[in-house]
Amino acid sequence: MTTPILEVRGVSQRFGKFQALSNVSVAFQPGRLTAIIGPNGAGKSTFFNVVSGAFPPTEGSIHFLGNDITGLPQHEFARIGIAKSFQITNVFKQLSAHENVRVAAQMRHARFALLRPRASMRELIDLADHLLERVGLQPVRDKPAADLAHGQQRALEIAMALACEPKLLLMDEPTAGMSPEETTTMMKLIASLATERTVILVEHKMKLVMGLCERLIVLHHGEFLAEGTPDEIRSNAEVKRVYLGQ
């Protein structure tokens, strides 16, 4: 067995008296694309917040490549290689797409300045161009982020997350609010990113991820409900009940 890239052991999260996650244990193997699905309010975003270091879990532990990272400060999560995309507040609306990615790359390099020689402006510019190309935004490179279409802003956030060179990329409902065309483009981008790194995707539209992911994990009312291949999940009686009962 390879060491899981991410392992969550007995994680619970309470907000006051409300139990958002209850004793969830799950492991993710490196290099795979996994989706966490479940109805609204199932605890999916809370799970991501816990594994991306937004707050430590009330109970349980989180392990990254075999190391216990429970309670590590959030900026350390980016340093060790865990990036969460879709934090819209990280995009500077008045800056161009290219400037936004450059800022993200610069912040990373500034943080590592003691470990590595400081990247030159030329390197940062080239890296930003490379990442914009990677997510299909090179044609709008110089447009202010505010003027980008919704789908393009989401792609920009991915490019910014990639500037941290993450080993593990977490995406929370990347197609939320997208048109069918934007959704198709985003799904293709996710599939292509997943050939290079481990990706975990949170989605409440089960059908959307069925054709994309090799493995699905289902949360319901903050509890682990099921895990398996798309076929196994599709035919799981408990899962059917939860989704039909919505």
Q: Which residues are at the interface with ligand ADP (CB under 6 A)?
A: 15, 18, 20, 38, 40-46
Q: Is 45 in the site for Mg ion (CB under 5 A)?
A: yes
Locate all alpha helices (DSSP H) within the chain, ordered by sequence: 44-51, 74-80, 97-111, 121-134, 150-162, 180-193, 206-210, 230-234, 237-244
Three-class DSSP category at 22: strand
CB of 36 to ligand ADP, least distance (A): 8
For the beta carbon of residue 115, count every other beta carbon within 10 angstroms: 7
In contact, 69 and 62? CB cutoff 8 Å: yes
Q: How far is the CB of 53 from Mg ion (least distance, A)?
A: 17
Cβ proximity to Mg ion: between 12 and 45 the closer is 45
As measured in angstroms, the least distance from the Cβ of 217 to Mg ion is: 14
Judging by DSSP bridges, how do beta strands 198-203 and 168-172 pair with one another?
Answer: parallel
Residue 87 contacts Mg ion per CB under 5 A:
no
Q: Considering only the stretches 36-44, 119-127, 208-216, 235-243, report the one whose residues sit in contact with Mg ion under the rule CB under 5 A.
A: 36-44
Comparison of 148 and 171: residue with beta carbon closer to Mg ion: 171
Nearer to ligand ADP among residue 46 and residue 185 (C-beta): 46
Examine residue 23 and tell whether it contacts Mg ion (CB under 5 A).
no
H helices within 135-218, ranges in order?
A: 150-162, 180-193, 206-210
Q: What is the bridge-based pairing of β-strands 6-15 and 59-64?
A: antiparallel
Q: How far is the CB of 136 from Mg ion (least distance, A)?
A: 25
Residues engaged in binding Mg ion (CB under 5 A): 44-45
